[in-house]
Structure 1
């Protein structure tokens, strides 16, 4: 759910390039284009992803722990976003998310009897979250600005765990016929965030006399895109993302609940196809590069992690379908 809130804040300002600067039109266009850009912001969204075999090695308390193979990592995500209140300048949205992660380990060489995260065979994790997000439309320095605050409660199949939050704002810096530049910032109300604060910057450019356009959203993605026929869109590039879930540890001398945080860069292709007015299918595939993989006791800063692992680059694919019963075909 944190990931969805980040995506929305990152892209809020880009709608200014396509709307009038009145609260009503800005708010309507915000909803339309965010859903078009980010499937997880639609009313209903379902995704299944799988990364392929790779080697890994790990450390526990800065000591060599294990090495072996992750034969595969599977994940399934289902999300719902329900608007519950809206005025000319303010909107409130409730969201729910379920995330399933499954690792299949093999050929583990364990230098310790401690069972923290890895074990031969299949290990799976079920996590749930709900969020309440508030968005306010205003102006700053005579330019349209959007403020966003999100509060998230999450847990796993063992029970409720934590409350988190973030605040952000974004506004336009420059807009021409083919180019737009925006600036913003996000602050996390969460001591466990690996990146507690970062500025956001977007640069969108449609190349002259070309079907291609560039879409850069710092720090989330760099894509080159073009339309394919009447109902398709093809993209190539890289995106930065994260995977996180709770891990219940049953080893003596350890806390009961830990948080696993995985930062990654995915590079490859994406194809989106509008099946009808309300249904959009998506396929992604390419290479997955793991930047940081840490296990931290629940509620503690990520720099105080007890466990980390390094994983080789591997291939991945992801398929998804999103449903927006209130959508109309975009022209």
Structure 2
């Protein structure tokens, strides 16, 4: 009996020890996951492109627009634009140094033309209010590797863009490589290439560089392909940033006309340079409130035939306008299918 009791006590001790070890391992895993999650949240608060969900509204003030059709003055007017943009990202799979993710977005534009003055007799442009929506979905593959003993990131992306009203669609293929040449505690310098496999893109390969530097513990300078920014941490939950960055939008149209020099399927696109201040506040543990304001310069505004690279048949010159943005976004909160 004594031996049975002793054996039972030993077995119980083994079980208790096993549970203790499991609990200890679970606690360690929980701690590591918590540390990793906190690090990712900090990066996502600093880099908006890492956030899982974003919804923003852009208001552009009225500006003069001078339009040319086939390089001949077409019309003059006043242009106002409001944009609504929503985007959701979802991780799908992680294996080794590789990851696969997807994203879904919707971009709606409200475009108003006022005080129209026609400059041609065969085509008349009237005052109008246009509502256009573009939906997009994408699949992205990423890999972290090394090249010449330097860290490098490869990204390949395929996107599908569709206008639910007209049924027009476009498939885009792209890729990015970013090689970090130098990294210290206070700065980093990287070079890269952007690849666009798209018949409408005049530049399939674009080289670029990224430079980040901590000017002091609370101020960071960033230079890159999307622009320049000076970011100042006001507190753990609030940030003020001055930036000069690139932006833009795209809409698809079907035109019903008997004129042979105007195509039936067209794409209206803009390339913009925005300068101003941005304030962000971490409203809750995961939700970020954003407000921006400044000026918007239209570097390019044109209408091209869908699927054509060169030869915008309609070009616009738009004056400098004020703009404001209000939005909310969420730091990564769901691991998706990669969990």
Q: What is the distance in 1 between the residues matched to 2:87 and 2:70? A: 36
**Structure 1 residue 144: Cα displacement:** 1.2
**Structure 1 residue 37: Cα displacement:** 4.1
Q: What is the distance in 2 between the residues matched to 1:41 and 1:229? A: 21
Is 1:77 aligned to 2:57, yes or no?
Answer: no
Retained in 1: the 8 A contact 2:168–2:252?
no
**Structure 1 residue 160: Cα displacement:** 4.4
- Superposed CA offset, 1:55-99 (max 9, x none): 1101111111011111x2100011111111111211111111100
Q: Which residue of 2 aligns with 1:205?
A: 213
**Structure 1 residue 255: Cα displacement:** 2.5
Q: What is the distance in 1 between the residues matched to 2:245 and 2:110? A: 22
Q: What is the distance in 2 between the residues matched to 1:262 and 1:34? A: 30
SS at match of 1:35: helix
1:155 to 152, 162, 170: 162
Q: What is the distance in 1 between the residues matched to 2:274 and 2:320? A: 10
Retained in 2: the 8 A contact 1:49–1:75?
yes
Go from structure 1 to structure 2 and tell me whether the alpha carbon gap of 1:79 and 1:244 turns closer, same or farther (over 3 Å shift). Answer: same
Residues 28-39 of structure 1: matches in 2 within 5 Å?
A: 35-39=44-48
Retained in 1: the 8 A contact 2:76–2:118?
yes
Q: Which residue of 2 aligns with 1:141?
A: 148
SS at match of 2:329: strand
2:185 to 177, 185, 196: 177
Q: What is the distance in 2 between the residues matched to 1:256 and 1:42? A: 38
Structure with greater Cα Rg: 2
- Superposed CA offset, 1:11-62 (max 9, x none): xxxxxxxxxxxxxxxx989965763344354221101001101111011111
Retained in 1: the 8 A contact 2:41–2:332?
no
SS at match of 2:199: coil
**Structure 1 residue 211: Cα displacement:** 3.3
Superposed CA RMSD: 2.2
SS at match of 2:45: helix
Is 1:130 aligned to 2:130, yes or no?
Answer: no
Task: Using structure 2 for the length normalisation, give the TM-score.
Answer: 0.82
Q: Which residue of 2 aligns with 1:97?
A: 105
Farther off after superposition, 307-316 or 79-88: 79-88
Retained in 2: the 8 A contact 1:154–1:163?
yes
Q: Which residue of 1 aligns with 2:16?
A: none
- Superposed CA offset, 1:252-280 (max 9, x none): 23332211110110001011111111111
**Structure 1 residue 180: Cα displacement:** 1.0
Is 1:61 aligned to 2:67, yes or no?
Answer: no
Is 1:50 aligned to 2:56, yes or no?
Answer: no
1:326 to 310, 315, 333: 333
